[in-house]
Amino acid sequence: MSSDHSAAEAAPNASPKPDSSAWAMLVCLLTGFALSQAFRTVTSIIADGLRTDFGLSAQSLGSFAGLFALSFGVAQLLMGIGMDIYGLRRTVLLAFPLSIAGAALSALAPSYSWLMLGQLLIGVGCSPAFLASTMFIARHFPADKFAYLSGIGLGLGGLGLLFTGTPMAWLVQHMGWRAGFALLAVLSVLSWLLIFFKVHEPALAGDSQPKPGFMQALQGFGSLLLLPHTWGIVLLGMVSYASFLTVRGLWLSPMLMDRYQFSLVTTGNVALACSVISLFVPSMFGRLDPGPARRRQRIARFALLMATVFVALALLHQSVGSVLLLLVMSVLSGYGTLIYADVRSSYPPATTGRALSIFTMAMFLGAALMQWLSGLVAGVAERQNADIYQAVMLMIAAMLGSGVLAYQLIKPSPLLHKASN
């Protein structure tokens, strides 16, 4: 990747003060992210219908949910390179139709295999959504507002989580899970049209620089993986977001229905409450950002507290207490905003875009791994006549604790030491 071009595209310090058009374009990009949030969490609401129609085991359900995150995560590298070469708008517009096709295919799927193909297409199509939003913020908004604005972006994207709460539960209960995918396909078309007509990136100094070739851009990504501190961030990134997503997007509804005999709409209400919280907590954590010098310790403490909540959820068998723990988990999920800020502070401006792309890829590959493993663990527990939800929650807590340990043991970026002096 050309260093001149990368610096121009990712250096937020060089960005002019954003006007109303930049805000409007960011909101349009975030509609795609909101839909990707809906797609990645819809499994929790449609799980019972899928098990009934296709006879899915807990392991197959975990594989289905994990395939979205796997395809989403693997595609991040290609999307990051695409944005370097072709720009944010063109990359999103070329990829997102795959989500539309995948949602339509899922709505019509005659078998589990076709459903998995639809999930694969949806994951690849949604893959540039949040990365495009964060890179737009990095390029066109002030650097000192990055954590706060990323938090707002995560919050607005949480509107997709609202949709897969009570509204989707009501729709699925009355019209079936296929209607849910059909509606998501229609909404995806509307989002694509909004981005096509409204998003036109403001020009930046240096945009006239030659664009990097594919291999040059790929080497730029590879160079970051040779930095030790990248792996500390990656290993935590693989389990931090995945832990909340695995519960909210896969096990929340089945757990409440199986353990406490909640109805589908009641579990949707719980999911809705979790989603409402997730709208506001990212920006709250962004405002509470202590800065580069103290941020890492705060991240580690929040992650360990989240792991403790998972242990409590595994051991507690009481409906009200479990719902309260899920709400606490939703509040704590906002600490992910601080990790994004840590990524932003750990690399020079010329590599910010690449670093964000690698971190986002790690997040979703981790989510794929955790969701697949959770299905595997649930399957083993099911065969042993053990509590599958207890086994899954303890597994998530252990993975989260391991990620925090790696994050603390691997030496951080030298740039953070400079910031603290």
Handedness of CA 324, 330, 331, 333 (dihedral sign): positive
The average pLDDT across 65-82 equals 88
Residue 421 lies inside a defined structural domain of this protein? no
Residue 13 lies inside a defined structural domain of this protein? no
Residue 291: pLDDT band with limits 50, 70, 90 = confident
The average pLDDT across 404-415 equals 94
More confident residue, 267 or 15: 267
More confident residue, 114 or 79: 114
Q: Which domain holds residue 309?
A: 18-201+225-412
Q: Is 330 exposed, middle or buried (0-12, 13-18, 19+ CB in 10 A)?
A: buried
Q: Which pLDDT value is given to residue 260?
A: 96
Amino acid found at 103: A
Residue 313: pLDDT band with limits 50, 70, 90 = very high
Half-sphere exposure of 379 (CA within 13 A, CB side): 14
**Which two tokens mark 161?**
């989580």
Residue 46 lies inside a defined structural domain of this protein? yes
Q: Which pLDDT value is given to residue 167?
A: 92
Q: Which pLDDT value is given to residue 3?
A: 39
Residue 9 lies inside a defined structural domain of this protein? no
The average pLDDT across 211-219 equals 76
Q: Which pLDDT value is given to residue 73?
A: 87
pLDDT tens digits for 145-164? 887 888 888 888 888 988 98
User: Measured between alpha carbons, how far is 208 from 203 in angstroms, rounded to an integer?
Assistant: 9
Residue 217 lies inside a defined structural domain of this protein? no
pLDDT over 60 at 354, yes or no? yes
Q: How far, CA to CA in Å, does 122 sit from each of 193, 220, 407?
A: 17, 27, 31
Q: Which pLDDT value is given to residue 343?
A: 92
The interaxial angle of helices 264-287 and 146-157, nearest 10 deg, is 170
The average pLDDT across 58-77 equals 89
**Which two tokens mark 98?**
């795959």
**The model's pTM:** 0.79
More confident residue, 78 or 94: 94
Residue 206: pLDDT band with limits 50, 70, 90 = low
Residue 3 lies inside a defined structural domain of this protein? no
pLDDT over 70 at 9, yes or no? no
Q: What is the dihedral of CA 43, 47, 51, 52, to 10 degrees?
A: -120
Q: Which pLDDT value is given to residue 71?
A: 94
The average pLDDT across 368-380 equals 93
pLDDT tens digits for 218-272? 888 889 999 999 999 999 999 999 999 899 888 999 999 999 999 999 999 999 9
pLDDT over 60 at 410, yes or no? yes
Q: How far, CA to CA in Å, does 265 sit from each of 15, 250, 323?
A: 46, 16, 14
Lowest mean pLDDT among 48-52, 166-170, 202-206, 258-262: 202-206
pLDDT over 60 at 5, yes or no? no
pLDDT tens digits for 28-37? 999 999 999 9
Domain count, the chain: 1
Residue 419 lies inside a defined structural domain of this protein? no
Residue 218 lies inside a defined structural domain of this protein? no
The domain spanning residue 335 has which CATH number? Answer: 1.20.1250.20
pLDDT over 60 at 13, yes or no? no
Q: Which pLDDT value is given to residue 8?
A: 37
* Backbone phi and psi for residue 180, each to the nearest 5 degrees, phi listed first: -60, -45
pLDDT over 80 at 209, yes or no? no
